[in-house]
Amino acid sequence: MAGPAASLSTLSLSTQSPAPMAPALRGRLVAPAASAFGGSPRFPTLRAAPRRVKPLAVAGDAEDEWGKEPAVAEAPADVPVTSEVAELKAKLKEALYGTERGLRASSETRAEVVELITQLEARNPTPAPTDALTLLNGKWILAYTSFSQLFPLLGAGSLPQLVKVEEISQTIDSENFTVQNCIKFSGPLATTSVSTNAKFEIRSPKRVQIKFDEGIIGTPQLTDSIVLPEKFEFLGQNIDLTPLKGIFSSIENAASSVARTISGQPPLKIPIRTDNAESWLLTTYLDDELRISRGDGSSIFVLFKEGSTLLF
């Protein structure tokens, strides 16, 4: 799959208070959502495949106008796949633990992840993913990426204090050939999301072309209760927030009526009309719970299917 709209679109956004977002912040958030699953600043993500439409490139095509597809190891002829794949997926899950979608991964961990990915790609049970759209269908949660343009969004330094990225996901509708990249943010007072909608076309048995249509900034939803950490770090200093808990309790009571008003507002939709709002995505491994994709700039995306045991 190709940050809030062009990069999740590598996907998502910033949450502050029940008040509407400032126009300047809206623009900054929409761009990351598009890049979360793609690879270039040009609104990368998955793009749609026409419904049973004749592919624009034959299976044997090694390259097209977007360049040569990355080389992927072929599966060995007589390899017992099931047990090996299960073991490799378990190792991959363990290697990704604590990396924060790749942001905190050390060079040693990255090397281990790449090795495991290469081994899984060589045992891909779905050599032609675009012929198995039912497997691609559904919501996929980003577990790891090497897409460097997404790191500034994930890094604490680029988000307001106390705001964190809850989830980066990509939802594929194989019947309508649409893709939605979404980033969900949460803070002490509210949660919100930034997403991008796109269409995709099949270009080869493994590649789809994606073109983004619009970015969406979700309406902030006030949380049922204010979750305030005991402390947080600011400019190298640990700030104790315990004395503020009483104040926030009063704010929580007053905000309940405001929440109903704000939550009833429709999300802000921003059309994406630039010709550069597209990218391609190559699926190199696919089964019913794991998807590995490669995008522009040799970026790698590891995604787990919603509900998969790999997420727990």
pLDDT digits (tens, 9 = 90+) for 134-181: 999 999 999 999 987 776 666 644 555 567 888 999 999 999 999 999
Work out the burial of residue 125: count CB atoms within 10 Å of its CB; fewer than 13 is exposed, 13-18 middle, 19 or more buried: middle
| pTM score of the predicted model | 0.66
**What is residue 225's three-state secondary structure?**
coil
What integer pLDDT is reported at residue 4 of this predicted model? 44
Q: Are 42 and 14 in contact (CB under 8 A)?
A: no
Give the class (CATH, top level) of 81-305: mainly beta
Residue 96 has pLDDT above 80, yes or no: yes
Report how far apart the first and last C-alpha atoms of the chain are (Å, whole number).
Answer: 22
In tens, the pLDDT along 176-235 reads: 999 999 999 887 677 889 999 999 999 999 999 999 999 998 887 766 555 556 665 555
Q: How big, in percent rounded to 5, are the helix, strand and coil portions of the chain?
A: 30, 30, 45
What integer pLDDT is reported at residue 48 of this predicted model? 41
CA-to-CA separations, 103 to 19, 75, 144, 154, 235, in angstroms, rounded: 30, 30, 8, 7, 20
Say how far apart CA 53 and CA 135 lie, in whole Å. 18
Q: Which two tokens stand for residue 214?
A: 């619009």
